[in-house]
Structure 1
Amino acid sequence: MATDAHDGPVPAEDGRGQRVLDLLDKAIDSQSLLVRKNIARARQRTPEATPAQVIRNLERMYVSALTGTGAAVGGTAAAPGVGTGVALALSAGEALSSLELSALFALSLAEVHGVPIDEIERRRTIVMGIMLGGSGSATITKVAERTGQHWGRQVVAKVPAETLRQINKILGKNFITKYGTKQGIIVLGRVAPFGIGAVIGGGANAAMATLTVRAGRRAFGPPPTSWPGLTSSTPPTSENPPG
């Protein structure tokens, strides 16, 4: 895994902030290899699905999975014999799971839209930009000095890696602040007793997933009418890697 892309000063709650970025990199690295399989799963029941149909399925899969992980962890506090310490430990693991699910969703969207995800800087920009929502898109377009909608296509696919590195330094600082704080609130909510944690955990994750889906739509715009880079309407599969 590359470790130099978030170089430069990290806000110095330092160690904790760097751990958030390390978790992000770990999630991006592990999920990048699963993108095409995720797309294949989204069209499993409809092999001839259009990009628009696949994107809708990806959105549903993501919201369902993220909501489920939050509710499952939150429910542990209500189980007999399970203490707060155990629930907190599980929540720490679920933070990585949430990042992995979000990274997989964002990178899968990019793949369907034909946006290259071959370089780590592009993958970082896509994932952080979508998870940060409006503030992410504003940062990306400002640093890249580009205007217009749908930064996922207009910026990530076109600007050089050095520009993306500058963007990612700023996004990284914002990501530490926003994601770290939000995740901390959600974790505390999940350890509430009597099953309340399951409601808070699942509801908070559902809300976060919904915002991420909206950010993804704004980042990439309308789905392509055909599968990018292919001569037929058949989308890529895990058995049909790009040339």
Structure 2
Amino acid sequence: MRTYSAREWAERLTMRVSPADIERLGRTMLVTIDRVSSSRWEAAVGRAAALGGDVRPEKMKALTDSFARELGAFGAGAGAAAATPAVGTTATLLAAMAELAWFTGRAGDLILTVAALHGRPSPSVEERRAWMLAVLIYGGSAREGFAKTINEANTGLSPANGTKLPMATLQTVNRLLTPRLVKRYGARRGAIALGTTLPLGIGAIVGGSANYMAVRALARHADQFFSRLPYSAIDATATEVDGVLPSRRSD
């Protein structure tokens, strides 16, 4: 009997997942993001306040270490549970959806906690959703990607950097980012989620190590994003889509 590498198993599993299944994975992510953005801000604030350390870098390290251990262990556990050659397409998809929903939810918790560490004051649900989408989609380029999307959403003239962002613009930004989540973030996480179902114990290695590294990168990207947000505040009273922000990276 032929043996397969982890990459070959992942390719075989991915080829067996239909476009409809990919759409289901995407919906799973979006439902999770909506739930986290609407109901977990207070928990994130409490989590940030409870972190050890005297300065933000120390608190960031404690937060990153905690989430990396948790999600790394979960990924390894998901892979171990699926470590059998008899796993079929349906079971594989269900396992992938469960892993993807869990990781996306905890990734959202991490992003919101980093926002709280940076002292973001009472953000609206739309703003929290935009933060999560930007960091998950663009990673280390979240600030530039977010500013570029703001420019796409706008019809007005360009104000100076750091002005208030109209709520109508933010809502348009979220509508633009939503389909990009499945295309960019979903492809990366979906591959890892499917990788946890690899047989013969390989999945435990793929899922655990991938989650561990992904969380560390995510925390770093979120910290960079909130250190230099491309706007100062949300103008909840504005009714027109307006405002163009510079998207080019500056040192």
Please confirm whether the aligned pair reaches a TM-score higher than 0.5, indicating the same fold.
yes
Q: Distance in 1 between matches of 2:133 and 2:215?
A: 14
Q: Between 134-143 and 208-217, report the one with greater CA deviation.
A: 134-143
What does residue 168 of structure 2 align with?
162
Match of residue 37 from structure 2: 28
1:117 Cα offset (Å): 4.3
Listed one character per residue, the Cα deviations across residues 134-177 of structure 1 (whole Å, up to 9, x for unaligned) are 454333112435xxxxxxxx76x942222211221222121111
Residues 29 and 104 in structure 2, CA contact (< 8 A), matched pair in contact too: no
CA drift of 1:212 comes to 0.9
For the pair shown, the structure with the greater C-alpha radius of gyration is 2
How far the C-alpha of 1:73 sits from its partner, in A, is 0.4
Aligned-residue offset at 1:215: 1.1
The Cα shift of 1:219 comes to: 0.5
Q: Distance in 1 between matches of 2:213 and 2:61?
A: 17
Task: Determine whether 1:171 maps to 2:171.
Answer: no
Q: Does 189-198 or 130-139 show the bigger shift?
A: 130-139
Correspondence 1:70 to 2:103: no
Q: Distance in 2 between matches of 1:217 and 1:171?
A: 20
CA RMSD across the alignment: 2.9
Q: 1:31 to 1:90 in 2, by over 3 A?
A: farther
SS of the residue corresponding to residue 222 of structure 2 reads: helix
Matched with 2:4 is none
What CA distance in whole angstroms lies between the structure 1 residues aligned with 2:78 and 2:59? Answer: 29
Cα distance in 1 for residues equivalent to 2:81 and 2:39: 27
Q: What are the residue-to-residue correspondences of 1:33-182 with 2, within 5 Å? A: 33-43=42-52, 49-78=54-83, 83-84=87-88, 86=91, 88-132=93-137, 133-134=139-140, 136-145=142-151, 158-182=164-188
CA contact (8 A) 1:110 1:116 kept: no
User: How far 1:221 sits from its partner (Å)?
Assistant: 2.6
Contact 1:74 1:87 in 2 (8 A): no
Q: Give the deviation of 1:71 after TM superposition.
A: 0.9
Structure 1: 5+ residue runs without aligned partners? Answer: 1-11, 146-153, 223-243
Residue in structure 2 matched with residue 202 of structure 1 by the alignment: 208
In structure 1, distance between residues paired with 2:87 and 2:37:
32
Tell me the CA shift for residue 109 of structure 1: 1.0
| Percent of residue pairs identical | 25
Q: Letter of the aligned partner of 2:210 in structure 1?
A: A
